[in-house]
Amino acid sequence: MSFSVEVLTLFPEFFDSPLQQSLLRRAIEAGLFDFKATNIRDFSTDKHRTVDDVPYGGGAGMVMKPEPLVGALEDARARLGEIPRVLLTPQGTPLSQELAWSLSEGPGMILLCGHYEGIDERVREGWIDLEVSIGDYVLTGGEPAALVLLDSVVRLIPGVVGNRESLMDESFSCGGLEYPHYTRPRDFRGLGVPEVLLSGHHQKIEEFRREQSLKRTLERRPDLLKRDDE
């Protein structure tokens, strides 16, 4: 069964090009995942196709109306079944490799992209299972965040990345940052390659990589080495 991703957005074209590139395109062609971008505006309930309105209580900016959002969410659920409905918002749970792994194990996800000042709070209360943030900064809308989340999840679906072992070794999945990589030429503008990598001694190479990975993590992201109970 393939993994389904449906994005609910006011800008479906935003996803056209990224999904036609590289790994994501190959995953779709191989039938490993299917993707649909739905225009929230198609679910507006008035003749002007309105999707936003002024906030109760006043203030700057507009709020996304509940009817089109819930219409789009219910339509996607009716087609895809009980898959998680995820709202992209700076107020959500920070995206992590662990969260990406856990979503990749499911049957798929519906991604709701907010715009303007936000969405009507009642939609979050009744029709959203998970809220995700991709970092402590504010984007113009949820679309770039949906793309980041979808990319991080889809590459973990079995069969998408050829060598699954490389997924376990990479940064964050192994608990820290990954070791440095080198390829030919052996001498690049006077810069060499660590001797041990040319030795063919697998155990020593593994040790070297483990050391480098730890050193890097200590220098750059010591927070990743702290235990959960600290």
Binding-site positions for S-adenosyl-L-methionine? 114, 134-139
Among 12, 90, 108, 118, binds ligand ADE (CB under 6 A): 90
CA 194 – CA 30 distance, rounded (Å) = 39
Task: Tell me if 137 contacts ligand ADE by CB under 6 A.
Answer: yes
Task: Tell me if 145 contacts ligand ADE by CB under 6 A.
Answer: yes
Q: Which residues contact 135 (CB under 8 A, 6 or more apart)?
A: 94, 95
Task: Tell me if 118 contacts ligand ADE by CB under 6 A.
Answer: no
Nearest-approach distance from CB 99 to ligand ADE, in angstroms: 13
Q: Quote the longest CA-to-CA distance of the chain.
A: 72
The H-or-E segment that residue 91 falls in is strand 85-94
Q: Total number of residues binding ligand ADE (CB under 6 A)?
A: 11
Q: What are the residues facing 37 on neighbouring strands?
A: 7
Nearest-approach distance from CB 96 to ligand ADE, in angstroms: 13
Nearest-approach distance from CB 210 to ligand ADE, in angstroms: 33
Instruction: Please state whether beta strands 52-53 and 63-64 pair in parallel, antiparallel, or not at all (unpaired).
Output: antiparallel
Asked if residue 157 lies in contact with residue 33, where contact means CB atoms within 8 angstroms, the answer is: yes
Positions 41 through 70 that interact with ligand ADE (CB under 6 A): none
Among 12, 108, 118, 142, binds ligand ADE (CB under 6 A): 142
Q: Which stretch binds ligand ADE (CB under 6 A): 87-95, 99-107, 178-186, 213-221?
A: 87-95
Q: Which residues contact 140 (CB under 8 A, 6 or more apart)?
A: 115
Task: Tell me if 88 contacts ligand ADE by CB under 6 A.
Answer: yes
CA 14 – CA 140 distance, rounded (Å) = 13
Q: Kindly list the residues in this chain that would bind ligand ADE in the complex (CB under 6 A).
A: 88-90, 133-135, 137-139, 142, 145
